[in-house]
Each structure stands twice: as C-alpha cells, then as structure tokens.
Amino acid sequence: AQSVTQLGSHVSVSEGALVLLRCNYSSSVPPYLFWYVQYPNQGLQLLLKYTSAATLVKGINGFEAEFKKSETSFHLTKPSAHMSDAAEYFCAVRYTGFQKLVFGTGTRLLVSP
Amino acid sequence: DAMVIQNPRYQVTQFGKPVTLSCSQTLNHNVMYWYQQKSSQAPKLLFHYYDKDFNNEADTPDNFQSRRPNTSFCFLDIRSPGLGDAAMYLCATSLRGDEQFFGPGTRLTVL
C-alpha cells in the first residue's frame, strides 16, 4: 500500500539551529515527492518537489531536501531556523499514473528564541 | 497573480442546514480537488475532478457533493452538516495531476 511516514509529530529547535524533518515513503518505484508548509488557518504552500531531475532539491525560504532511493527517504532540512519557520510541514507523494497525493501525518515545527 | 480563491474564508452554519463552499482558480488547471482537514491532521481527499470527470473517494460520505460548472469554478455542497463536519475545507488545483496548488481554505463551524 502507498504510504508516507513522517517521524515525529513535533520537532523543537532553537532559532539558528539546523532543521531536520524526516519523511519516508513506501514504493519500489520512485514517486514524485513534495513538501508543503501550512501556517495556522491557511492553505498549504509548496516548499519544494522532487521529480527525478536532481536528488538534491532546493525550495523556498532556504529549505532543501535530498532524495535517497536506497533509504526511500526525502528529508527536509534548513541550515538555520528562523522564528517564522514555525508551522506544520507535510510530506506528500504522488505515484506515476495517479492524480492524487498521499500525505504524511505532518510535523509541527516549533522554534524557540 | 494566478491563484486559487476560496469563499467564504469562514462559514458558520446550523446543524442540518445545507451549505455550499466555493472555489475558483485563475491557473487554468484541469484538475480540482476538495480536501477536509481536521485539527492537527493531514488533509483528507474527498473527491476530485479531472476535467469534467468526477472521482469520488470510497470513504467520502454521501452528505458531501460537488459541482464543477466550468474549468474555473468548483463547489462543495454539504447537504446536512453534522457537528463532525466542522473542519477546514481546502480546494486545490493541478495541471494533469502534477503539483497541487492550494487555496487558503474555508473554516466551517457547525452550531
């Protein structure tokens, strides 16, 4: 079955620290992978996407993610957290031939001063 | 700017009173989606239109209906809202199923 696992429902970091949000997918065929961010009472905004062009994907707001086929992972990182990064982050996958996304359960990022 | 617009942003209805949520887009995307999102949960797909073809998720209650009169507009109708239908409703669009662009959502409260 298609699934996405986000390890850690909450991640807390200090401002300026490294951000690492984990995402693993289940598939023998690399899917299309996405990271979305959601601020309170807003819709989802696309941070970045992997579509097989490059394994290291750079997105908006200084975020990037690396696709590792051997680990079936697509972890999201940012070298230095900012207070404005506090939000909910969703990893999602889309499998070839399907128009639907499969979302992970989300990770809430908390940033302390 | 090309975008996905949802109206209203906040909707209050009474238990059992039909309600309609609206979504419009200026992206000219052929696929439109409706999601339900409850607090601290991932969005849950209710249904989507691929062009004019309606695709209902197997676990979407019959209480939820949708209409897409043209490429730009899509509506979500809740025929008899219950307390459990209180949620954020998100509309999204995509071009042939590629990355999805989300609207700001409509927060539905059921009294």
By percentage, how much of chain B surpasses pLDDT 90? 93
A45 in contact with B at a CB cutoff of 8 Å? yes
Nearest to A99 among B90, B97, B107 (CB): B97
List Cα–Cα distances, B32 to A74, B11, B53, B57, B103, in angstroms. Answer: 26, 21, 10, 14, 11
Is B62 a residue whose pLDDT tops 90? yes
Inter-chain residue contact A100 with B94, CB threshold 8 Å: no
Is B45 a residue whose pLDDT tops 80? yes
The pLDDT assigned to A94 comes to 87
> By CA distance, what is A42's nearest residue in B?
B104
The pLDDT assigned to B2 comes to 67
pLDDT tens, residue by residue, B78-92? 999 999 999 999 999
Q: What is the C-alpha to C-alpha distance for residues A68 and A88, in angstroms, rounded to an integer?
A: 23
The pLDDT assigned to A29 comes to 72
